[in-house]
Amino acid sequence: MPISLPPPSEEAEAENTLAAIGEFGLIDRVTAGRVQPATTLLGPGDDAAVVAASDGRVVACTDVLVAGVHFRLDWSAPDQIGRKAAAANLADIAAMGAVPTALLVGLACPADTPVETLAGLADGLWAEAGSVGAGVVGGDVASSPTLVLSVTALGSLDGREAVTRAGARPGDVVALAGRVGWAAAGWAVLARGFRSPVAVVAAHRVPEPPYAAGPQAAKAGATAMIDVSDGLLADLGHVSRASGARIDVRSGALEIPARLRDIGRALGVDPLHWLLTGGEDHALAATFPGSPPEGWTEIGVVTDGEPAVLVDGRPYAGGPAGWDHFVR
């Protein structure tokens, strides 16, 4: 016979919050027993961490994730949010042609946030960092009316030059590594109150950036590269402007998965729009002076002309090219 247990008392719930264990209790909770990579010379616990920089240079980036803007706790589990926060930064490191080495995490949240929520966030951060051989080496905790995660990633170029957005030249091919459109389709499904198809919803909750493709592209002579975080057309626009060149994307080169076609029909959305403008998959887009390496797909070409991103030779007429926090 099933046993019915009474709900936890208000006192018990209060004991399981950040207010009960305090800042340093939380730090102990999320750092105890964690294993650091060899690049971490000194991890959490001191005024600052010490991370090895093999060639004397450090690649660094920061992203801020705000509850209700970048994630929802009723859509994603805390560990999924932690993984997503880490992935957004680790993909930026890979987009420079570098290898991630460490994460620094700033956390701001209400005092009544459950400890299990924060522990789940930490589990996700550590898991995603560990998947690329990086460590979580430090951070800070502060009180806030809203849950906010600020993640800084560090990386090593391993003796290579950084691949920036500014090197694309007419005649280069444009190529893509990783998937696009899935996270946008997952958001569309969740926004309509559904929780399936599972694979598409999972893509919104936890991206799968092709981390290894960044250093691979750098070794293969990529002239420019970017993390596709706000939308393929929007992010290629950054490359176009930085490089002073025009980019023409071939829509026929973007394979639309059957699952996205099915969802598009159900929701009345052209799935190509998700591929062209959807963000948060954290694919990598790069330009190459010749054929791209294995695992990359040619999707367009760099041409002469005023900076712009075209689709099949024309400006995209299907709506905004991607996400902008301050433009609606």
Domain count of the fold of the chain: 2
Q: Are 126 and 29 in contact (CB under 8 A)?
A: no
Residue 197 lies in a domain: yes
Q: Which domain holds residue 89?
A: 21-156
**207 and 119, same domain (yes or no):** no
Instruction: Establish whether 278 is an annotated binding residue.
Output: no
Instruction: Establish whether 325 is an annotated binding residue.
Output: no
User: Smallest Cα–Cα separation from 279: which of 175, 150, 183?
Assistant: 183
User: Smallest Cα–Cα separation from 89: which of 40, 45, 139?
Assistant: 139
User: pLDDT tens digit string along 126-153?
Assistant: 999 999 999 999 999 999 999 999 999 9
The whole-angstrom separation of Cα 239 and Cα 37 is 33
Average pLDDT, the chain: 90
Instruction: Establish whether 144 is an annotated binding residue.
Output: no
**177 and 146, same domain (yes or no):** no
**145 and 183, same domain (yes or no):** no
Cis previous bond, 100, omega within 30:
no
Q: Which of 126, 156, 186 is the last residue of a domain?
A: 156
**129 and 229, same domain (yes or no):** no
**What's the pLDDT score for residue 30?**
67
Instruction: Establish whether 270 is an annotated binding residue.
Output: no
Residue 323 lies in a domain: no
Burial of 144: CB neighbours in 10 Å, binned 0-12, 13-18, 19+: middle
Comparing 61 with 13, which gets the higher pLDDT? 61
User: pLDDT tens digit string along 76-88?
Assistant: 999 999 999 999 9
Residue 2 lies in a domain: no
Instruction: Establish whether 323 is an annotated binding residue.
Output: yes
User: pLDDT tens digit string along 280-322?
Assistant: 999 999 999 999 999 999 999 999 999 999 999 999 987 666 5
Residue 30 lies in a domain: yes
**188 and 133, same domain (yes or no):** no
Instruction: Establish whether 63 is an annotated binding residue.
Output: yes
Beta strands in 133-207 (DSSP E): 135-143, 148-156, 173-177
CATH at 299? 3.90.650.10
Mean predicted confidence (pLDDT) in 223-242? 97
* pLDDT band at residue 95 under the 50/70/90 scheme: very high
Beta-strand pair 40-42/50-51: antiparallel
C-alpha dist (Å) from residue 270 to 16, 132, 229, 265, 300 = 46, 34, 20, 8, 20
Choice among 44-58, 170-184, 219-233, 289-303 with the minimum mean pLDDT: 44-58
Instruction: Establish whether 23 is an annotated binding residue.
Output: no
